[in-house]
Amino acid sequence: MASETTSSQAETRTIIVDGQPLRIAIRPGDGTRTPLLLMNGIGVNLEVLQPFVDALAPATEVIRFDVPGTGGSPAPRFPHRFSTHARLVAEMLDSLSYQQVDVLGVSWGGALAQEFAYKYPDRCRRLILVSTGTGAFMVPGRPSALLKITTPRRYQNPTYMAQNAGEIYGGKIRTQPELTHEFAQTARLGSALGYFYQMLGGVGWTSIPWLHKLRQPTLILHGDDDPLVPLANAKIMHRLIPHSKLYIFHDGHLGLGTSAQELAQVVDQFLSAPSPP
């Protein structure tokens, strides 16, 4: 497949995994650290995470991909459950010759990261969960915000995004409209069908019964003004995951981008810390 180049010298190309085209981007590191795999939110393409990738230490190799139905990855024939997505990720890593990675998941991608760490513990060295929760059994967000994400309209209509971003995402987005513009300029909807497939794939899923079985050192990052996923969910995960740390930042649901410098520093420190016994 033809390749392209994003900023930070990341090579972007499309590979085929079990018949599914996946658009991926890999920013090379210096080979001294475990590669970091990023899993994005619902309907969001890999470019949205670019500010965070740019803020990470150059030594870290970073792998991103568009989930089927988002960005440059076409929608699958049928909706995938998180277990199927996790298996696809494992097969993607096989095809790219990665034996083990650190995993960071944000929002919807945080649920996928939990599933992957649980199903493939040997493939996940450390786990980072950002602005996410435990699925069906979690403290719900504000109804007005949740209602607005039931459709991908915010990605299709810039005016709608500008008018509603603060209510949906909270944090710095409320008072800095230029951040909304930057996000809207970067976000690219793959397809409405792929968006709905992602939503359907998470119906009924929960990590509550097995979070206590996770053995990876885990860092939980959560904003104190998140209308979609209230902070209480991060505290619940912190109580349930044995080897976890909680870091609360002053921002909202899009904090990984709007507070990229702060959170990249926290993540770098976590990934480079000595391994616990």
Give the C-alpha separation, 187 to 71, whole Å.
8
60 CB-contact burial (10 Å; exposed 0-12 / middle 13-18 / buried 19+): buried
Its sign, for the CA torsion 126, 129, 246, 268, is: positive
Residue 189 has a pLDDT of 84
Q: Give backbone dihedrals phi and psi of 122, rounded to 5 degrees, phi first.
A: -75, -20
Domain ranges, ordered by start, for the chain: 3-250
Q: Pairing mode, if any, of strands 101-106 and 36-39?
A: parallel
Paired residues of 6 in beta bridges? 10
Contact call for residues 144 and 167 (beta carbons, < 8 A):
yes
How confident is the model over 166-178, as pLDDT tens digits? 999 999 999 999 9
The predicted model scores a pTM of 0.95
Tokens of 197: 């497939």
CATH superfamily assigned to domain 3-250: Alpha/Beta hydrolase fold, catalytic domain (3.40.50.1820)
Angle at 133 between CA 128 and CA 137, to 5 degrees: 145
Mean pLDDT of the chain: 94
Question: Per-residue confidence at 252, pLDDT binned at 50, 70, 90?
Answer: very high
Question: Per-residue confidence at 105, pLDDT binned at 50, 70, 90?
Answer: very high
Q: What is the mean pLDDT of residues 180-184?
A: 92
Residue 32 has a pLDDT of 93
Residue 9 has a pLDDT of 74
Q: What is the mean pLDDT of residues 231-253?
A: 98
Distances (CA, A) of 53 to 22, 27, 111, 259: 19, 8, 20, 12
Q: What is the mean pLDDT of residues 145-153?
A: 93
> Could you tell me which of 150, 148, 169, 171 has the C-alpha nearest to residue 160?
148
How confident is the model over 6-54, as pLDDT tens digits? 445 789 999 999 999 999 999 999 999 999 999 999 999 999 999 999 9
Residue 8 has a pLDDT of 52
How confident is the model over 74-97, as pLDDT tens digits? 999 999 999 999 999 999 999 999
Question: Per-residue confidence at 188, pLDDT binned at 50, 70, 90?
Answer: confident
Contact call for residues 73 and 190 (beta carbons, < 8 A):
yes
Please list the active-site residues. 107
Residue 277 has a pLDDT of 67
H helix or E strand, kind and range, residue 10 = strand 10-17
Paired residues of 11 in beta bridges? 5, 26
Does residue 3 register a pLDDT over 70? no
